[in-house]
Amino acid sequence: MLAQQSCPIPANEPERIARVRSFDILDTPPEIEFDALTRVVAHAFNAPIAVVALMDSDRLWFKSRLGLDVPQLDRKIAFCAHAIMTPDAPLVIEDLAGDARFIINPLVSRAPHLRFYAGAPLVDDSGHALGTIAVIDTRPRPFNDAQRKILMDCSRLVMTALQGRRRALLLERLAMTDYLTGLPNRVQFDQAMATEMQHAQRSGKPFSLLCLDLDGFKGVNDQFGHAAGDEVLCEVARRLQRQLRLGDTAARLGGDEFAIVT
């Protein structure tokens, strides 16, 4: 009977998982930048399999993959689970069948009978290994120091793409969020309205729109100051959010005007 497959866990695992999820990339569709990097690394190392992967709490999820049919793997059998343990160097296993850690791994002992793995960790600016860029083969092969350096360079390119994507998402959210209350602003509300109108036209089902403003709000500002007025707006936003159902959108349209589409 085969021994139970297990994998190492980084000492900073809770923080590492939080960093992975802060990139909002898990389970997203393929993207040109990452697919291009995967093709480049596969060609550079003449490897039949190449992946850009993120390590979640219980799975290895592939943002991009070449030569693999599955979108993710159980973390317990993922070679990359070992690669993230050394953030400053690649993990290279020239013959997986000759390594005690992997000889019983089902990816090695059964189809697809993998024999070679080289993975460089994707390390963010806080030093957490989020995942890997890796090349894999079905035959053993050598991997010299120059190749290791190139693979590490590729991991830095992937991190540059990940961080650029994250910044773009943040800017997009800021552009569509009211800075004071954190609610969607008019831009995001208009988009939600357009979506609801299109859905209503297609389905024949109605939707509801609630608009409100705050009576006497100017008096609050005049008597107690703008800081107090801001707190009133934030409290209104909190109360609206507590009443929302899944799929509802509450927004601050400007000043003391709010709206809900449901």
pLDDT, tens digit, 9 for 90 and up, residues 77-135? 999 999 999 999 999 999 999 999 999 999 999 999 999 999 999 999 999 999 999 99
Number of Cβ atoms within 10 Å of the Cβ of 120: 28
Is residue 3 scored above 50 in pLDDT?
Answer: no
Per-residue model confidence as pLDDT tens digits over 167-203: 999 898 889 899 999 999 999 899 889 988 998 899 9
Residue ranges of domains in the chain:
13-175, 186-261
Is residue 209 scored above 70 in pLDDT?
Answer: yes
Contact 138, 115 (CB under 8 A): yes
CATH topology of domain 186-261: Alpha-Beta Plaits (3.30.70)
Query: Do 186-261 and 13-175 have the same topology in CATH?
Result: no
Q: How far apart are CA 228 and CA 190, in angstroms?
A: 28
Number of Cβ atoms within 10 Å of the Cβ of 240: 20
Is residue 232 scored above 50 in pLDDT?
Answer: yes
Per-residue model confidence as pLDDT tens digits over 23-75: 999 999 999 999 999 999 999 999 999 999 999 999 999 999 999 999 999 99
Q: For residue 145, count CB atoms less than 10 angstroms from its CB and return exposed for 0-12, middle for 13-18, buried for 19 or more.
A: exposed
Give the pLDDT of residue 173.
85
Give the pLDDT of residue 5.
59
In this structure, CATH architecture of domain 13-175:
2-Layer Sandwich (3.30)
Q: What is the helix (H) or strand (E) element at residue 259, kind and residue range?
A: strand 257-261
> Peptide bond preceding 112: is omega within 30 degrees of 0, i.e. cis?
yes
